[in-house]
Structure 1
Amino acid sequence: MTRTDPADILARLIRCPSVTPAEGGALAVLAEVLEPLGFSVARMTASEEGTPDIENLYARLGTEGPHLMFAGHTDVVPPGNVERWTHDPFAATIADGQMYGRGAVDMKGGIACFAAAVARHVERHGPPPGSISFLITGDEEGPAVNGTVKLLEWAAEKGERWDAALVGEPTNPAALGDMIKTGRRGSLSGRITVEGIQGHAAYPHLADNPVRGILQLTQALMHPPFDAGTADFQPSNLEVTTIDTGNPAVNVIPAKATAAFNIRFNDSWTADSLKAEILSRLERAAAEGSLRPGRKPVDWAIAWSERPSHVFLTRNDALTASLSGAIEAVTGRVPALSTTGGTSDARFIKDYCPVVEFGLVGQTMHMVDERVALADLETLTAIYEAFLQRWFGVHAAD
């Protein structure tokens, strides 16, 4: 194995079929890369009733501060119909200057590049003046219960403390150097249920159609807008994602209707204040309407998702300036500092230290023929290596 070659490391990782929750051998490959560099490597399996056991990895080089964490995941989404792939999704085939495979950009590629960058740094300069750790989970693409959350708790209980973290998720929309993620919107989900009275569609006076009520309630959630955005975040946005009655018959008024929704919210809100606003909207809409004129108000209930994601924004000049400077030095681009997109495991890491995200171009993630340009692997490795020098240099000057 060539530890300074990100393409070689990535090929070995892709060939491990680590579809969530399977480890697939990917953590073993990473350990083979890190241990000869001087990392102490620990494997930790986390469990929780009702969810699959997950194997995770924590590795550390050095014993002193400052301490930089690199975080990511080796689990991948299923490949889907493999017959639609140009190349085997777990073969790491190289064609036309690109490596094909599930996880190539999300996010085995980022892991391979950071590992190669550390190997190059150690080869050229020796170990850094501090510590580097890898915090790698196996269920970021799954329920995210037995991965980063429990691995962070496990490491913290053993006395691990971090000064900053970099998550290697694919953050760039079109080209390397486009974007650093310095925060994420919060995410809150729920499901509304409206009870009606089942009946024959030809005799509506004998029934109460819950679809009428669910439409009134969902409309109240989607309009008016929750806010106009803030200086650092785009406007909060709620989408109704399903409406269902479980009714296969076209001539039967259903007994119940449900609607699921998700809102991505900015720093105008907390999960609790947002819940209060949603409940207020639902109460007003239910009081103002009924399933039919002259009937009682809409009878509804709501169930919240158990794990809302909280909004966060990282303001840490040593971290963002070191990464931005490395990106500009290697690519000539000045990256945008963004809070767009979905959630990531950075939402858990932010409770332990400042965290930002930067990785490959994400255009093919989760798609058939997921792939990465070999040139991008080299560029990202160079960025990560330059970042290591700058970040540890800043702290050495303190």
Structure 2
Amino acid sequence: MSYPLKNNAKSVPSVASILQRLIKARSVTPNDAGTIAYLAERLSELEFNIEVIESNGVKNLIAHRKFGEGPIFSYSGHVDVVPATSDGWRVDPFSGDIIDGVIYGRGAADMKGSVAAMLTATKDFCNANIAKLGTFYWLITSDEEGEATDGSVLIAEYLQQRGVVLDACLVGEPTSHKHVGDTIKNGRRGAISGRFIVQGKSGHVAYPEFTVNAAHIAGELVTQLANLAWSKDEPGSKSTLQVTGLTVPNIVDNLVPATCEIMFNVRYSHGYKSHDICQRLTEVAQTINADIKVAWERPCESFYTGKKADNCFLSLVENVISQELGQYPSLSTAGGTSDGRFFANELTQVVECGVKNDTIHQVNEHVAIADLLAIEQIYKRVLFKYLGSE
């Protein structure tokens, strides 16, 4: 079905109208642009208890409704988006306009589409005349696309301080590849950036015997970093190190450089934690007879959700998708980091499932209405199976 560019909200499904409303909010990190208040109001109408935590311009929504004894389940997501200008876009990136059944706009796929589908699924579940059990949480932040220092990490601390232990968490990140539900994430690689600062001794290039060339030492270190083997890697989750910059200050062609800085980023398997990476790379630098210091930046821990013998949420999501699509999804830990790392632990199974990710952060980011309806149905079925009597 084709929809006109300018449309009436009544001409599209409810989930699409909600997504349009969210896209029109220019919620570039950390500004939520009213989206947290909008979601809080909608959830309050469904008898959720609402709390909003604010920190350094970030708003975090923690909403919950207790139906009775049973598992504690949460939807997790974010309403903030990366910036967008109008250059190259078919429509205004904050319009939510529809062309041929496709909604365009910043955040359409990452991840306001999932938030909209979660909201309509939640409404259908709460209004269903069935027996319900357990506690249902909504955990939404406006600080995922940035440094993530005032977002989900604070939500996780809030839950911990109140003794709330999630049994399962469904994160709405866009995970699908060719069609909705074909891939879900049951973990993520960790990430850490760093800088090696190599200190040598400057001098005239004609007399290298009186110098220590920091750039030469840096080259030796880069070679070792590029050839590292990662013995703790597991199938489907490979560690990689990329040198992202080499800097020599005050470059002139007759001066041996006294300093050289190596910038790098490591994406590491769930077989490692950030302290393992720091220790490993520090030991590599120590094998070189030189003055080398290291500074670490932005560690993001890896996480992994395996199968459980009983009440396995990962298996439940797999089965739901199989029933919806006729085939099981692929499991993956690839891609960048996500807020799932803040909620994953030995007691909480975290699964990421969302729409296609082929246009996220790009010009003309979009999601098909048919895909919205598909992910809405998956979210709803997960709810009915995990907290309902189905």
TM-score, normalised relative to structure 1: 0.87
Q: C-alpha displacement at 1:333, in angstroms?
A: 2.7
User: How far apart, CA to CA, are the structure 2 residues paired with 1:4 and 1:165?
Assistant: 26
Larger deviation: 222-231 or 329-338?
222-231
What is the 5 A alignment of 1:331-370?
A: 331-351=325-345, 353-370=348-365
Q: Secondary structure at the match of 1:190?
A: strand
User: How far apart, CA to CA, are the structure 1 residues paired with 2:14 and 2:322?
Assistant: 22
1:234·1:266 contact (CA, 8 Å) conserved in 2?
yes
2:61 aligns with one of 57, 62, 66: 57
Task: Name the structure 2 match of 1:387.
Answer: 382
Paired letter, 1:378: L
Paired letter, 2:222: T
1:258 aligns with one of 240, 243, 261: 261
Q: 1:85–1:254: structure 2 CA closer, same or farther, 3 Å change rule?
A: farther
Q: 1:255–1:166: structure 2 CA closer, same or farther, 3 Å change rule?
A: same
Q: C-alpha displacement at 1:140, in angstroms?
A: 0.7
User: How far apart, CA to CA, are the structure 2 residues paired with 1:23 and 1:270?
Assistant: 31
User: How far apart, CA to CA, are the structure 1 residues paired with 2:103 and 2:298?
Assistant: 38
What is the 5 A alignment of 1:213-362?
A: 213-227=217-231, 229-231=233-235, 233-247=236-250, 249-284=252-287, 286-287=288-289, 298-305=290-297, 307-316=299-308, 318-351=312-345, 353-362=348-357
Q: 1:200–1:126: structure 2 CA closer, same or farther, 3 Å change rule?
A: farther
Q: 1:242–1:169: structure 2 CA closer, same or farther, 3 Å change rule?
A: same
Task: Name the structure 1 match of 2:86.
Answer: 82
Q: 1:163–1:226: structure 2 CA closer, same or farther, 3 Å change rule?
A: closer
Q: C-alpha displacement at 1:390, in angstroms?
A: 1.7
Task: Name the structure 2 match of 1:49.
Answer: none
2:23 aligns with one of 14, 25, 34: 14
Q: 1:250–1:83: structure 2 CA closer, same or farther, 3 Å change rule?
A: farther
User: How far apart, CA to CA, are the structure 1 residues paired with 2:241 and 2:217?
Assistant: 18
Q: C-alpha displacement at 1:198, in angstroms?
A: 3.5
User: How far apart, CA to CA, are the structure 2 residues paired with 1:85 and 1:222?
Assistant: 38
Q: 1:63–1:201: structure 2 CA closer, same or farther, 3 Å change rule?
A: farther
Paired letter, 2:343: I
1:260-305 deviation digits (Å, cap 9, x = unpaired): 2222222443333333322222222x13xxxxxxxxxx22111123
2:148 aligns with one of 144, 149, 162: 144
Q: C-alpha displacement at 1:106, in angstroms?
A: 0.6
User: How far apart, CA to CA, are the structure 1 residues paired with 2:252 and 2:100?
Assistant: 52
User: How far apart, CA to CA, are the structure 1 residues paired with 2:381 and 2:39?
Assistant: 22
Between the two proteins, the alignment pairs up a number of residues equal to: 377
Q: Secondary structure at the match of 1:325?
A: helix
Tell whether 2:138 aligns with 1:134.
yes
Tell whether 2:379 aligns with 1:374.
no
Q: C-alpha displacement at 1:248, in angstroms?
A: 5.3
1:58·1:133 contact (CA, 8 Å) conserved in 2?
yes
1:23·1:55 contact (CA, 8 Å) conserved in 2?
yes
Task: Name the structure 2 match of 1:291.
Answer: none
**Cα RMSD after superposing both structures:** 2.4
Paired letter, 2:265: N
Q: 1:137–1:344: structure 2 CA closer, same or farther, 3 Å change rule?
A: same
Q: C-alpha displacement at 1:370, in angstroms?
A: 0.6
Q: C-alpha displacement at 1:127, in angstroms?
A: 7.4
1:112-155 deviation digits (Å, cap 9, x = unpaired): 11111111222333573222111001111111111101112123
User: How far apart, CA to CA, are the structure 1 residues paired with 2:159 and 2:131?
Assistant: 22
Q: 1:367–1:246: structure 2 CA closer, same or farther, 3 Å change rule?
A: farther
User: How far apart, CA to CA, are the structure 2 residues paired with 1:346 and 1:188?
Assistant: 16
2:189 aligns with one of 154, 168, 185: 185
1:193-235 deviation digits (Å, cap 9, x = unpaired): 001234455554554331111111111111142238324x433
Paired letter, 1:13: L
User: How far apart, CA to CA, are the structure 2 residues paired with 1:116 and 1:200?
Assistant: 70
Larger deviation: 32-41 or 9-18?
32-41
1:227·1:236 contact (CA, 8 Å) conserved in 2?
no
User: How far apart, CA to CA, are the structure 2 residues paired with 1:41 and 1:203?
Assistant: 71
2:274·2:299 contact (CA, 8 Å) conserved in 1?
no
User: How far apart, CA to CA, are the structure 1 residues paired with 2:231 and 2:276?
Assistant: 13
Paired letter, 2:38: V
2:67·2:133 contact (CA, 8 Å) conserved in 1?
no
User: How far apart, CA to CA, are the structure 1 residues paired with 2:366 and 2:131?
Assistant: 32
TM-score, normalised relative to structure 2: 0.89
User: How far apart, CA to CA, are the structure 1 residues paired with 2:355 and 2:176?
Assistant: 6
User: How far apart, CA to CA, are the structure 2 residues paired with 1:228 and 1:161?
Assistant: 29
2:199·2:260 contact (CA, 8 Å) conserved in 1?
yes
